[in-house]
Amino acid sequence: MATLAASPLSTRPALEAAQAAALACHRWIGRGDGKAADAAATEAMRTRLAYAPGLGTVIIGEGEKDEAPMLHNGEQLGDGDGPDFDIAVDPLECTDLCAAGLPGALATIAMAASGSMWSPGPALYMDKLVVGPAARDAIDLRATPEENLSAVAQALGRPIEELTVVVLDKPRHETLIARLRAAGAAVATPSAGDVAGALAALLPDGGADMLMGVGGTPEGVMTACAVAALGGGMQGRPAPQADEEVQALAEAGIDTERVLGLEELVSGPALFVATGVSGGELLRRPWQAGDELLTESIVIAPDRVQRIVEGGAQQ
């Protein structure tokens, strides 16, 4: 079992919270009840975070987007004996994939120094650009997709035809996907999971070069923590997808034209953890080994990436 020392940004509490969430919803994989799976993951993650050293504040969580009663924005968790910190959670990323028994569902969490995470209020969706360290200064959400492709290709020293871009397969992205392919890039189009897509672009062995398009704001904030830890590049911008969200953002005084740089999304030390729920290329689903149910997780902290296999009791 990996030993991770306690600190203001210890990976251990985040790792245990993600593992607990993954194990709690394991029995719901393929059962067709995404709400039950999400509820189980959320309750397990919240219970584990109650024992985290210090006092964590949920900056972005379940309550706004999923109307969940736990892990809502502003909720405070921890034992109070230690430093304050910020939390962003998605206890079950890709709920529909879990319900359908398809690969790609993850339990995810990020932590950062207190006051360093962007607090988006009612912003549920955001437009994102994510790249690895070599192209971190080449992206600009105000530029066209073709201009970003060209700039990233130049930064990587490769032709556009050798680039792979991850874009979620959603109706809102039909034109974007067509433009990227017309420009010569390959486009990977998962049906869901822009956290995994961002990691594919961020990690050296991830198999992609960029993530583009509109996805969830919780996923965006967590992605920013991973990007900051590894020195990658990211920009985001609120992208409301319904009239109610447009009105809520206007009432909150949030400028939907403003592009947020990585340092605005997360301004201090940060970490990110994901544990596999339904399997896939990134992480295995929990599996039985003797009397234990094992999980596989990825931990991204400043300047390091760890893959951790540990056992635990099924919830």
Cα–Cα–Cα angle for 85, 86, 88, nearest 5°? 145
Residue 135: closest CA among 121, 124, 159, 151: 151
**What does the mean pLDDT of the chain come to?**
92
pLDDT given for residue 67 in this prediction: 52
Q: Which tens digit of pLDDT belongs to each residue from 90-99?
A: 999 999 999 9
In percent, the amount of the chain with pLDDT more than 70 equals 94
- The more confidently predicted of residues 285 and 70 is 285
Query: What is the band of 121 on the pLDDT scale with cuts at 50, 70, 90?
Result: confident
- The more confidently predicted of residues 1 and 311 is 311
pLDDT given for residue 36 in this prediction: 95
Q: Which tens digit of pLDDT belongs to each residue from 154-200?
A: 999 999 999 999 999 999 999 999 999 999 999 999 999 999 999 99
Tell me the mean pLDDT in the region 305-309.
95
Query: What is the band of 60 on the pLDDT scale with cuts at 50, 70, 90?
Result: confident
- Any idea which architecture 125-265 has in CATH? 3-Layer(aba) Sandwich (3.40)
pLDDT given for residue 68 in this prediction: 53
The model carries a pTM of 0.91
pLDDT given for residue 23 in this prediction: 97
pLDDT given for residue 290 in this prediction: 87
Q: Which tens digit of pLDDT belongs to each residue from 11-38?
A: 999 999 999 999 999 999 999 999 999 9
pLDDT given for residue 5 in this prediction: 38
Residue 3 scores a pLDDT above 50:
no
Range(s) for CATH 3.30.540.10 in the chain? 11-116+270-312
pLDDT given for residue 6 in this prediction: 39
pLDDT given for residue 291 in this prediction: 86
Range(s) for CATH 3.40.190.90 in the chain? 125-265
Read out DSSP for 93-142?
ESHHHHHHT-TT-EEEEEEEETT-B---TT--EEEEEEE-GGGTTS--TT
- Any idea which architecture 11-116+270-312 has in CATH? 2-Layer Sandwich (3.30)
